[in-house]
Amino acid sequence: MKFDRNTVIGFVILAALFFGYFYYTNQEQSAYRKQKAREQFVADSIRNANTPPVDTLAQKIDSARADTMKRIASAGSFRDAANGTEQLVYTENEYLKLTFTSKGGQVKRVELKDFKGQDSNLLQLAATDFDRLGYTINTATNQTAQTADLYFTGIDSAKNADGSKSIWFKLKSSDSTASSSITHKFTIKPKDYMIDFNVELVGADKLLTQGSMNLSWQYAAAQQESDIDFEKQNTQVGFVKDGSFDYYTVGNRSSKDFDESVKWVGVRQRFFFTSLIAKDNFTNGKMEWTVPPDSAKILVRSTANMKVQLPVASTSNTGFSIYYGPSDYHILKKYDLNLEKLVNLGQGMYAFVRPLNRFVILPIFDFMRNLSGTSLGLAIALLTLFIRLLISPLTYSSYLSGAKMKALRPEIAKLKDKFGEDKQAISMEQMKLFREAGVNPLGGCIPALLQIPIFFALFSFFNSEVSLRGAEFLWANDLSAYDAPIKFGFNIPLLGDHLSLFNVTAAATSFLISVYSMSMTPDQNNPVMKYLPYIFPVFLLFFFNKLPSALTWYYTVSNVVTLALQFVIQNYIIDHDKILAKIQENRKKPKTKSKWQERMEQMQDQQKKMKEMQQKNKR
């Protein structure tokens, strides 16, 4: 037992080093941030000290006058639209409340009726000063302007026969000799998160150079969830180019050039998605984005400069669609534009679980949600029961293997008494015993390994299922976020500033499973295998503490079901006398060794001989 005790001490030292490393790293990062803040403060102080005082009021007046003159000059034949009074137009459907502005003839703010923001008001998208949509037009010889900076004066609206609503913004040339005009038409359909945006250009051959429309779309994804770090990790830029979908997590890259035809570009921020779709495709372009500091409460600011090629004619039309809404797989899929591929049902290294989520988890969850009514916590429990029923053959196989191993415990104990501390000899004899009895020592592990893809699938699913957002269950206020009934008021390395109660129940039930399982298996010679089942639940306590409570609730229910199944199967279904009889019957049968078994025994024999020779040399 000396080796086992030393191993345990080693584990304790490693754990202490592990926690010490993360604590030290956290302290170093905190000190670094404070140092950078001090340096910035000093730099700002020096810069301000060296800056001569100015008359701020006069400066503002001069700056405003200069900006006005510059806008009028660049507006050319549209000089009357360079300055004006912003007019707002409001409309809505069953899902959206939209605010349009005459400045640029564009969307100013979008509110989602079925979702609440952190301030408990309707959740808003595209509502920052950064958000804008426009394109470059020729206003005079060697003069250009952005439509987003011009004030559209002709405003009209109508209700269409199909129940949709249309809003027009019209901009006419100020030059009476010119006949150029621009019309932006927005169509809002009933029960739809997608709005249509049509552009009509009269005098397009003059407004555009060679029919090339250079469109600029700026979008800022504002923070919508309580944990901004986790939301940033789940924020992505997506697009369909040349018919193929692709995406980037915003922290891993900052730009993307498009040389091929592009159908749409968009930004997904965990539960919400905004996308600009070109009905006739963008011919090329570039998308750039930056990730502001957390204090800005903005996840990413993206700018897409995309080109649309129009016919060189006096009058041209082109159409776009803009999606403002939830990142919901079912909603996005109905548009048949591959928008749903940005929903994280399995991406990157976890892409292998996407089919499992699409064809198994998602349909079952939808069915259980309809069955349970408004309680999504109950729906998750029913989903858990269904999954456990689905894998019950594997579970029974695992417990049957455990029962066989338990039946062999007396004989394994005799081997240990016989060979003492010679662990290599004990291992060789155990393998022979297992082969004679017809027992696979890995029979209990393989079924457990096959359940890993299910866990990864649910990890992706619960992180992306928008219906969980804001759903209350027991003490959890939001199943899409961690539950935090216990707050420390200070930060603990790896754990955070809170303790999730569902995380505690998941770790506790995992520990009970480990205790029960180890009582059913023979004593392990390998100290790692002996103590790992007890260490694993402790690690869960740290790794699961910031995960969505939907996932830790699922894990808790799954563990309770496992404990119940273990007790019932071991005590009422498996007949241990029959297992012993079967083992004795297997021993009487002639055995044929596989090539793997032969090589393993040869290797063990060689190791034993080498060990004996080393012992003789020492003597």
pLDDT tens-digit map of 355-407: 999 999 999 999 999 988 778 999 999 999 998 888 877 777 777 776 666 66
Specify whether 293 is located in the same domain as 413.
no
Do both 27 and 100 map to the same domain? Answer: no
Q: Report d(CA 100, CA 185) in Å as an integer.
A: 11
Query: Does residue 418 share a domain with residue 319?
Result: no
88 belongs to a structural domain? yes
**123 and 243 both lie in a single domain:** yes
Residue 65 inside a domain? The answer is no
pTM of the model: 0.78
What is the rounded distance in angstroms from the CA atom of residue 599 to the CA atom of residue 606? 11
Whether residue 327 is found in the same domain as residue 444: no
- Which tokens is 117 given? 């923001």
pLDDT at position 154: 87
- Predicted confidence at residue 580, as pLDDT, reads 66
Q: What is the pLDDT of residue 33?
A: 47
Residue 184 forms part of a structural domain: yes
CA–CA separation, 479 and 468 (whole Å): 5
Contacts of residue 144, Cβ cutoff 8 Å, sequence gap at least 6: 74, 136, 137, 138
Asked if residue 174 is part of any domain, the answer here is: yes
92 and 176 in a single domain? The answer is: yes
Q: What is the pLDDT of residue 348?
A: 84
- 424 plus 481 within the same structural domain: yes
Is 201 found in the same domain as 157? yes
Q: Of 473, 485, 539, give the one whose Cα is nearest residue 510.
A: 539
pLDDT for 31-69, tens place per residue? 444 444 454 555 555 555 555 555 577 666 666 566 666
Report yes or no on 572 lying in a domain.
Answer: yes
* pLDDT for residue 520: 58
Query: 116 with 157, same domain?
Result: yes
In a shared domain, residues 202 and 140: yes
Cβ neighbors of 360 (< 8 A, separation 6 or more) are 457
Domain extent at residue 154: 78-343
Tell me whether residue 376 is in a domain: no
The CATH number for 325's domain is 2.70.98.90
Clarify whether residues 242 and 204 are in a common domain: yes
In a domain, 141, yes or no: yes
Residue 91: inside a domain: yes
Q: How many domains is the chain built from? A: 3
Q: Give me the residues of the chain with pLDDT under 50, please.
A: 1-11, 14, 17-19, 21-26, 28-29, 31-37, 39
d(CA 106, CA 184): 8
Q: Are residues 302 and 182 part of one domain?
A: yes
Nearest to 464 by CA among 272, 239, 219, 228: 272
Separation CA 569–CA 563 (nearest Å) = 10
